[in-house]
């Protein structure tokens, strides 16, 4: 069992990630409108995204990227993903001029510092063996006062933990313990808070019943970022 916050000696496996996803590159764009509830049940996405320059980290098949572009009217949303093959089918089908896509890594974004109002990630932090470098890079590309919004599977939920232990997964899949992750946010200049949620039962906020952990983090200084 791996621990994303404590596993400082294990490096992210690019080749392992490519091996895992290349077994099933998407052949077409995936549906995405049903994902709206995963945002609305714990966020005010209209307030967060509308009119903002947004970066979607680890955008995968562009499901959340397209959702945000189509429903919440950002100024622009840029999808950043390691593999062009994962983004290509959805990007070719996309007709929204607000959406752009680039290949790149969360450990070294191909963007200048202080560019984005919002950085968004869905199920990404739990795929990183050591979050410190990624959080530093997220802080670098955020504007002063910018916000990072993300969610990951909740390991306190026994069903989620069982699925993690019992099903095949990427070699870069780790258990995301929020109490170990929050100090890394603070040391990266991000003031973070967490929420437990279950999209099908939006009133559920219990640590053991929620299926996901949401994080909202505000950048409160820029001293350590170039």
- At residue 34, does pLDDT exceed 80? yes
- Give a yes or no: residue 84 inside a domain: yes
**Reported confidence tier of residue 113, pLDDT bands at 50, 70, 90:** very high
- Give a yes or no: residue 225 inside a domain: no
**Reported confidence tier of residue 8, pLDDT bands at 50, 70, 90:** very low
Domain range for residue 153?
14-22+30-97+104-219
The reported pLDDT for the residue numbered 177 is: 87
The CA distance from 101 to 99, in Å, is 7
The reported pLDDT for the residue numbered 39 is: 95
The reported pLDDT for the residue numbered 195 is: 94
- At residue 225, does pLDDT exceed 50? no
- Give a yes or no: residue 5 inside a domain: no
> Other C-beta atoms within 10 Å of 26: how many?
16
**Reported confidence tier of residue 7, pLDDT bands at 50, 70, 90:** very low
Torsion-angle region of 155 (φ positive above 0: left; ψ -120 to 50: alpha; else: beta) = alpha
As for how many domains the chain has, the answer is: 1
Average pLDDT, the chain: 90
- Give a yes or no: residue 7 inside a domain: no
161-187 tens-digit pLDDT: 988 888 877 788 888 888 888 999 999
61-93 tens-digit pLDDT: 999 999 999 999 999 999 999 999 999 999 999
The CA distances from residue 157 to 73, 153, 192, 209, in Å, are: 34, 9, 21, 6
- Give a yes or no: residue 226 inside a domain: no
The reported pLDDT for the residue numbered 221 is: 59
- The answer to whether 141 and 148 have CB atoms below 8 angstroms apart is no
> What are the b/e assignments for 88-126, b being 16+ CB within 10 Å?
bbbbeebeeebbebeebbbeebebeebbbbbbbbbbbbb
53-57 β-sheet, strand order: 99-103, 76-81, 53-57, 116-122, 142-153, 212-219, 190-197
Supply 214's token pair: 């949401």
- At residue 31, does pLDDT exceed 50? yes
Give the predicted TM-score (pTM) of the model.
0.90
The reported pLDDT for the residue numbered 171 is: 82
- Give a yes or no: residue 3 inside a domain: no
Output the domain CATH number for residue 195.
3.40.50.150
The CA distance from 93 to 108, in Å, is 28
- Give a yes or no: residue 162 inside a domain: yes
More confident residue, 225 or 115: 115
- Give a yes or no: residue 69 inside a domain: yes
């Amino acid at each position: 069992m791996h621990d994303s916050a404590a596993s400082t000696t294990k490096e992210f496996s690019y080749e392992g990630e490519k091996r895992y996803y290349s077994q099933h590159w998407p052949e077409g764009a995936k549906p995405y409108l049903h994902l709206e509830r995963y945002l609305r049940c714990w966020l005010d996405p209209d307030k967060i995204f509308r009119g903002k320059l947004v970066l979607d980290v680890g955008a995968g098949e562009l499901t959340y990227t397209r959702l945000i572009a189509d429903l919440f009217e950002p100024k622009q949303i840029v999808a950043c993903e390691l593999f062009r093959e994962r983004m290509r089918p959805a990007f070719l089908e996309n007709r929204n001029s607000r959406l752009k896509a680039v290949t790149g890594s969360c450990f070294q974004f191909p963007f200048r510092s202080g560019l984005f109002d919002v950085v968004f990630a869905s199920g990404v932090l739990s795929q990183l063996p050591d979050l410190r470098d990624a959080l530093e890079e997220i802080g670098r590309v955020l504007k002063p006062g910018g916000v990072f919004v993300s969610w990951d599977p909740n390991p306190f939920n026994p069903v989620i933990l069982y699925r993690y232990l019992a099903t095949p997964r990427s070699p870069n899949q780790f258990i995301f313990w929020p109490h170990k992750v929050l100090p890394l946010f603070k040391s990266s200049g991000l003031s973070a808070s967490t929420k437990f949620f279950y999209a099908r039962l939006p009133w559920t906020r219990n640590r053991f019943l929620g299926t996901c952990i949401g994080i909202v983090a505000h950048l409160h200084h820029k001293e350590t970022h170039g």
